[in-house]
Amino acid sequence: MKLSEYLEILHLARISIEEYNNWGEDEIYKTTIADVLSNESSFIKSTYQLSYTENINPREELNNIKQKVSRCKKCSLGKTRLNAVFGSGTVNANLMFVGEGPGYDEDHKGEPFIGRAGQLLTKIISAMNYKRETVYISNIVKCHPMIDPDNPEKRSNDRCPSLEEMKTCIPYLDMQLEIIKPKIIVTLGACSTKGLLNNEEPISKIRGKLKEYKGIKLIPTFHPAALLRNPNLKKAVWEDMKKVIRYLETGEI
Ligand code: SF4
Ligand code: URA
């Protein structure tokens, strides 16, 4: 056997082990060798930082990753979720919101931000003169972080994802960002802000400040759930959203 063939087999074996670790036994059989050889697997792409630019329909690519996420069990949240919540909106979005993680309603329906906080987010988006369909809405983790993970039917059972859970799930968000290429990200609340920026400042200090994540402009603001608890925070969020609008319209902040 030629050296190049040995190397090819080693490469396949390594990829198979990665696929097994990330998706489990079922998936390794579904991932065809042709798929692996042609490097079509999204996970492999993210692992090896290959480019998405050539011959790929972004909507299809996003959908492929969504399928992967729906089966993902890379962290323990995958074992207790009812539905993974990938994200919603358009692949052409200039603006991407990133929340902390699905709650009860989102876990039940598989859609992000559809509960009370989500309805407020929809209002904020309308006030900005956009629609949910013209932006992209996602979360830093795609499965419901629960205080009591044995009880997905319980209300008020949400918690901030741990740093470890965020670290495990962020590659999916990175893939979404790479495909959608938004001009600006708005992190909603302390969890997703910390997950992306690793900041020490509290959300009340860092909100409204222009930051960057992987070369993309980012503005943190309060989570809409915080506005439901304390409507006085709405003014600050609106100040932050005005900066976002200005940036999208003029390229300046
Ligand atoms: Fe996978 Fe993310 Fe769900 Fe964890 S939270 S199981 S990493 S999709
Ligand atoms: N809160 C979040 O952070 N994300 C959701 O999808 C819903 C509520």
CATH code of the domain in which 209 resides: 3.40.470.10
Q: Which residues span the domain enclosing 37?
A: 1-48
Distance (Å) from CA 250 to ligand 1 centroid: 36
Q: Where are the alpha helices (DSSP H) in 72-162?
A: 77-80, 104-109, 116-127
Q: Which helix (H) or strand (E) is 137 found in, with range? A: strand 136-139
**Residue closest by Cα to atom 7 of ligand 2:** 113
Structure tokens of 92?
Answer: 């052409």
Q: Which residues line ligand 2 (CB under 6 A)?
A: 85, 99-103, 106, 112-113, 115, 117-118, 139
Question: Taking CA 42 as the corner, what is the angle to CA 38 and CA 46, rounded to the nearest 5 degrees?
Answer: 110
Instruction: Say yes or no: 62 and 42 in one domain.
Output: no
What is the number of structural domains in the chain?
Answer: 2
What is residue 251's three-state secondary structure?
A: coil
212-225 exposure pattern, b = at least 16 Cβ within 10 A, e = fewer: ebeebbbbbbbbbb
Strands 95-99, 184-188: pairing is parallel
Instruction: Say yes or no: 146 and 32 in one domain.
Output: no
Atom of ligand 1 nearest to the CA of 168: 7
Q: Provide the residue-wise pLDDT of the chain in tens; the chain has 253 residues.
A: 888 777 877 877 777 776 666 665 545 544 444 444 444 444 444 444 444 445 679 999 999 999 999 999 999 999 999 999 999 999 999 999 999 999 999 999 999 999 999 999 999 999 999 999 999 999 999 999 999 999 999 999 999 999 999 999 999 999 999 999 999 999 999 999 999 999 999 999 999 999 999 999 999 999 999 999 999 999 999 999 999 999 999 999 8
Distance (Å) from CA 63 to ligand 1 centroid: 16
Instruction: Say yes or no: 4 and 98 in one domain.
Output: no
Atom of ligand 2 nearest to the CA of 225: 1
End-to-end CA separation in angstroms for the chain: 60
Gap between the Cα atoms of 44 and 18, Å rounded: 9
Structure tokens of 14?
Answer: 């390594």
Q: Note if the pTM is more than 0.85.
A: no
